[in-house]
Amino acid sequence: MNTEKFIANRITIAKNSKTQYSKIISRLCVIAISVSISIIVLSICFGEGLKKSIENNFVELFSNIRIENFTNNDHIYTESDTFSLNPKKIEQIKGLKKINHLQPVLTKFTALSHKNNLNGTILLGIDSTYKIEYINKNIKKGNTDLSWEKGDYPKIIISSKIAKKLEANINDTILFSFARIKKNSSKSDTTATFSNSIISGIYESNIKEFDEKICYVNMNYLRHKFKLNDNTISYYEVFTDGNIDIKKITKIINSPLIKVLSLNEKFPWLYQWVNSFNNNIYFITIIMVIICLINMLSFIIILILERTYMIGILKSFGTNNQRISKIFFYISLKITMKGILYGNLIAIIILFFQNKFEIIKLNPESYFVKKLPFEFPLEKIIQVNILSLILIQFALIIPLLIITRLKPTKILYIK
């Protein structure tokens, strides 16, 4: 029979008046641990969810890797210089491990006008290879049909922000105003200056700058309008299944005039911000564990003070400090496990309601998502629970020192 465990159980279920104060403190201790653990679990789930959602949004819009002209600046919302890549090299890149998709994009700056309203815009010329799923997912009105034949007005997909500025809607005709194309120092070709287009779809991406600047048109229309050959593009977007060494792609291209950039290099500020979520999670975890330690320490000290006579009797019968310490260790362990169990349960209930009713909303202009997303990284949560269970037991160090200093003769004499 485990005597220490038996005594610990008797103490925790005792109902005499002397233990009422410690029982109140023990309940408060369970509540404190439950709240702390639930906050830790929620911070992990929401932090991981927000990180993943933001990264996924940017990957879907901008891809993992971009192949572009070396002369391009790092600003994503400007017209890119064009170039062409050998079809054989394109196939070699597609054949690399972890590469799951490659798509060309042709960009042109234009001013859209409708009802005396004007908006500067970057047109993304896309073809049938473009991953249209993300646009489909974010279409609010209309469709993603950008089919075009010579002689027809091109179709355009605009954002809800641009539509609001232009006071335009589905099937409205809007005017493109392109910059003049200079043939030489003395002559200009004005054939590509103006063009009408029809709105086929209105999207909303939750990324403010993207929604304010980007529209989609058929790539063949832009090539025809600007008299470009079939291989001319502004950049290639490369989607991967995981991390890939971009040096492999650079080696295949083998051109000093073309550069390969990862999303991290294109948006360094984004990854610095997203990685700061980890620091916040660590900070919250440390603070909450410290709160648990202080509460457990307070409870055990009070319990020892209430059970001083019991400790004196046990010591008078020859029970050593180690065995007496075990009694309080079992009590601490029981309360901690109860608090951790309730804390995880509270967190799961909150996550359920957030998933069901989207209670917590976010400003998409600041966080790139409308609701607070979450992930449930089971492995991390288990690790945090185990770590918390172990660390909270360090609260016993000071009470154990108190136990070792208690002398049975003095305790029983005072009693």
Instruction: Give the model confidence (pLDDT) of 151-180 as tens digits.
Output: 999 999 999 999 999 999 999 999 999 876
Question: Under a CB-based contact definition with an 8 Å cutoff, are residues 152 and 88 in contact?
Answer: no
Which of 12, 8, 27, 16 is closest to 339 using CA atoms?
Answer: 27
pLDDT above 70 for 182: no
Task: Write a three-state SS string for 21-81.
Answer: HHHHHHHHHHHHHHHHHHHHHHHHHHHHHHHHHHHHHHHHHHCCEEEEECCCCCCCCCCCC
pLDDT above 60 for 65: yes
CA separation for the pair 60, 55 (Å, rounded): 9
Angle at 381 between CA 34 and CA 271, to 5 degrees: 115
pLDDT above 70 for 90: yes
**SS3 (DSSP) at 86:** coil
Q: At what angle do helices 321-357 and 378-392 cross, to 10 degrees?
A: 150
pLDDT above 70 for 414: no
For residue 144, which amino acid is it?
Answer: T
User: What do you get for the CA distance between the two ends of the chain, in Å?
Assistant: 30
Q: What percent of the chain has pLDDT over 70?
A: 93
Question: Quick one: pLDDT band at residue 51, thresholds 50, 70, 90?
Answer: very high
Question: Quick one: pLDDT band at residue 1, thresholds 50, 70, 90?
Answer: low
Q: For 189-215, how does the pLDDT look when each residue is reduced to its tens digit (9 = 90+)? A: 555 578 999 999 999 998 999 999 999
Q: What pLDDT is attached to residue 316?
A: 87
- pLDDT mean over 381-389: 96
CA separation for the pair 61, 55 (Å, rounded): 10
Q: For 345-371, how does the pLDDT look when each residue is reduced to its tens digit (9 = 90+)? A: 999 999 999 999 999 999 988 899 999
List strand residue ranges (DSSP E) for 62-98, in order. 65-69
Can you read off the two tokens belonging to residue 316? 């008078």
Q: What pLDDT is attached to residue 48?
A: 95
Question: Under a CB-based contact definition with an 8 Å cutoff, are residues 174 and 168 in contact?
Answer: yes
